[in-house]
Amino acid sequence: MDPARSPRSSFAPCPRDRAPAGRAAATPTHEAVRTAATIDEASRSGAAPRVPRPALTLACGPLPIGRVFPIVDAGLVIGRGSECGLVVNDERVSRQHVRIRVAGGVWMIDDLGSRNGTWVDGRRLAAPWRGVPRSLRIGACVFVPIADTGAQPPATFVESDGTVAGFALREAWQRIDAAATGGLALHLRGESGSGKEVAARRYHAACAHRGAFVAVNCAAIPSELAERILFGARRGAFSGAVADVDGLIQAAHGGTLFLDEIGELPAAVQAKLLRVLECREVTPLGANRPTPVEFALVTATHRDLAAEIGVGTFRADLFYRIAGFTVVIPPLRERGEELAVHIARELGAMPGTAVPSPEFVEACALRRWDGNVRELRASVRRAATEAALRRETHLRAEDLPAQDAVAAQRGADPLADPEVVEAALRRYDGNISACARGLGVHRNQLRRWIDRLRLARAATAT
């Protein structure tokens, strides 16, 4: 039977399967955050470790998507029968369809002799399943397993400002809010497209500085212009300087400066930036006197800056100045509960009435999404276009674009695998611009990657 034509399901979790209300984790004081920023909150407060609360979230099925179904110690039985902990009124679902238990982080999934089968990670169960799943499909419904919903699960994954945040991302945001209210510089680590700028803007909204939010993509700044763009210049400082021009640091005075991909800054600029952060004053090119500046600082990178220090491409003193409070933004593949919301939003913004099939949502849950939310949105738009060309409204799993070797590498750091960069250079006959487009990076960033590869090899040779 076509899942698109199966009757709409309804869910009715029994009271006995509701997770008991727990005590909220204690909020760390600002002083505790200042003195031990990288220590776990529970350890700082002396509280006993909180027991994880696993659950299923609805990714495809009746609205509202994103509904959370806790899995208690006794487990959860899903089926059409009223005796089940989670009742699904779907003719493709058996009376007692599947039992799920979680112990020690291991999920135990047993099909209870269902007529149409239970699908875990895209495969139909032929025997009891043990492990950590990424998707569960029964009938026309797809669930995404969640290892821990936290002490106080949110009622929705959509924030008041419209951003989407699941359990893992909310934990990161709690740390970001603590850094902002505590007046700490924030360092973000995360893959491209994971939402580092969204996190930086959240920090700006929560901090005491009410000036402008100035975002700088350090990877896109040409090395020879970086100093002038960041610190400004005075008239006559160089040929063509006919007027005084403030830099982006001066533009952030009274607000927040966000330096994205800070690891791409040239060494000379790193030294001058360190001086600005320590003295809270900036000296434009050609100026005799420094100008006082005051701003909140957020830096971000997808690199391991500690490793960059080892090969001499990033200053250790600057690293210790910016990385005192580090927050890792989890990639989309670790935030599966957000998938359905992102898909629905993207389809809702497009003309037509496209609807994702259960198989489409399942395929999305199983992808790595190296490009994170940015890649997901583009893939959903493409899938909707493919369905429209067939004059259909339901998106199929095969409508997703194929993940070739080059696309799979775009979310990773090519420096981690020099062969990727070298293969791309050979493919494009050494053309830097064409190679950069093929890798999905800025050409200036590619040039700096090539320089780093040379440095790393020289360090290995010595």
Q: How far apart are CA 135 and CA 52, in angstroms?
A: 19
Residue 72, amino acid: V
Question: Can you list the positions of beta strands (E) in 314-443?
Answer: 326-328, 355-356, 394-395
Please choose, from the candidates 136, 95, 88, the residue with its C-alpha nearest in 3D space to the C-alpha of residue 115. 95
- Please compute, for residue 362, the number of CA atoms within 13 A of its CA located in the half-sphere on the CB side: 24
Element housing 64 (H / E)? none
* The pLDDT of residue 421: 75
352: number of Cβ within 10 Å: 11
Q: How far apart are CA 59 and CA 341, in angstroms?
A: 8
Check the CA dihedral 147-152-153-159 and report its sign. negative
* The pLDDT of residue 179: 96
* The pLDDT of residue 92: 94
* The pLDDT of residue 311: 84
Give the phi and the psi of residue 122 in degrees, each rounded to 5.
85, 0
Q: Is 224 exposed, middle or buried, given 0-12, 13-18 or 19+ CB atoms closer than 10 A?
A: exposed
Q: How far apart are CA 57 and CA 98, in angstroms?
A: 16
Q: Which residues of 293-323 are buried (b: 16+ CB within 10 A; e: fewer)?
A: bebbbbbbbbbebeebbebebbbeebbebbb
Q: Is 97 exposed, middle or buried, given 0-12, 13-18 or 19+ CB atoms closer than 10 A?
A: buried
Residue 431, amino acid: N
340-343: long-range contacts at Cβ-Cβ below 8 A with a sequence spacing of 24 or more?
A: 340/57, 340/58, 340/59, 340/60, 340/65, 340/66, 340/144, 341/65, 341/66, 341/157, 341/158, 341/164, 342/164, 342/373, 342/376, 342/377, 342/380, 343/376, 343/380
Residue 361, amino acid: V
Residue 240: CB partners within 8 Å, gap ≥ 6? none
Q: Classify the phi-psi angles of 182: left when phi > 0, otherwise alpha if psi is within -120 to 50, otherwise beta.
A: alpha
Strand order in the sheet with 326-328: 213-217, 256-260, 296-301, 186-189, 326-328
Please report, for residues 148, 333, 368, the alpha-carbon distance to residue 365 in angstroms, rounded to integers and kept in the order given: 17, 8, 8
Q: Which residues of 117-134 are buried (b: 16+ CB within 10 A; e: fewer)?
A: bbbbeeeebeeebeeebb
Residue 295, amino acid: F
Q: How far apart are CA 270 and CA 419, in angstroms?
A: 28
Which is it for strands 11-13 and 291-292: parallel, antiparallel or unpaired? unpaired
* The pLDDT of residue 22: 39
Which is it for strands 129-131 and 186-189: parallel, antiparallel or unpaired? unpaired
Please report, for residues 25, 39, 52, the alpha-carbon distance to residue 46 in angstroms, rounded to integers and kept in the order given: 11, 11, 18
Mean pLDDT, the chain cut into blocks of 10 residues (462 residues total): 43 45 36 33 53 91 83 94 94 96 95 97 96 95 92 70 85 94 94 92 92 94 88 77 84 96 92 95 88 96 88 92 93 92 92 91 93 92 93 93 54 55 76 74 72 60 56
